[in-house]
Amino acid sequence: MKHLLLLFMLLTSIHIKADYRPIPIPKLLDRSRLVVTAEVVKIEDTFFEAKITKIHKGNWELQYPIKIQKFNNWTCAQIRANYQLGQKAIYFLQFNPETKLFYALSAGNEGEMPIFEGCVYQKMYTHGLEPFKEGHGKFDTSHGTIIGFQYSLQSVETAIQKYFNQKEKLEEQIQDGSILNLAKIESNEFYRRIMIELIYGNHELSTLLYKEVVEKRKKH
């Protein structure tokens, strides 16, 4: 019986990990209770405290640090380095009433986008198909190499507010298909990424965009 129980737990764990899917930026924004830019000011065994410098969504008294549960590494996702004082990031957070701690969304830790030297890094989120992986690469930072996407901090903070202000308009653009052409001319790199991920989430639009890429390749 004991061996059967251990086998069941192992298979369940494998199944959960196999079912893991990264959370795209639009869903991170929608599902978060708090979206903030913050800096680590205190580190404990299971959580850390961060001083908020900017609130993008939700409410919090800026004079009070926020307690955030540390991310636990597992097979499919690991933090880039140990938490350090002074470390900055944009956090997409939900609250756990049992632990009384906030936590970054997603089992892959997409809800914690580190900031180094004025740049924000979105950890690897690529679908392996052009143009959905446009801009994807390896980036060397003071805390090691990050695989994913790089954006300026200003573009990210501007795009987050733009997303919340124009959410209804984005939904209309998805419905009428105009988001396809608008994404091509969008100058804000992070907002463009949001649009691309919205396109990828729509089967009809993602198919059209992929066909465009295939046709262009044939011509060249």
Domain with 152 in it? 23-164
The answer to whether residue 140 is domain-embedded is: yes
d(CA 177, CA 35): 29
Reported confidence tier of residue 128, pLDDT bands at 50, 70, 90: low
Reported confidence tier of residue 120, pLDDT bands at 50, 70, 90: very high
Reported confidence tier of residue 9, pLDDT bands at 50, 70, 90: very low
pLDDT for residue 110 is more than 90 = no
The answer to whether residue 217 is domain-embedded is: no
The answer to whether residue 176 is domain-embedded is: no
The answer to whether residue 128 is domain-embedded is: yes
The answer to whether residue 183 is domain-embedded is: no
d(CA 188, CA 156): 8
d(CA 123, CA 68): 19
Percent of the chain with pLDDT over 90: 55
* Distance separating the N- and C-terminal Cα atoms of the chain: 63
The answer to whether residue 141 is domain-embedded is: yes
The answer to whether residue 191 is domain-embedded is: no
d(CA 2, CA 106): 32
* pTM (2 d.p.): 0.82
The answer to whether residue 109 is domain-embedded is: yes
Tell me how many domains the chain contains: 1
Q: What is the pLDDT of residues 174-209, one digit of tens each?
A: 999 999 999 999 999 999 999 999 998 898 998 888
Provide the CATH number for the domain around residue 127.
2.40.50.140
Half-sphere exposure of 100 (CA within 13 A, CB side): 0
Q: What is the pLDDT of residues 130-172, one digit of tens each?
A: 556 777 888 888 778 888 899 999 999 999 999 999 999 999 9
d(CA 9, CA 185): 49
pLDDT for residue 104 is more than 90 = yes
How far, rounded to the nearest angstrom, does the alpha carbon of residue 175 sit from its chain's CA centroid? 24
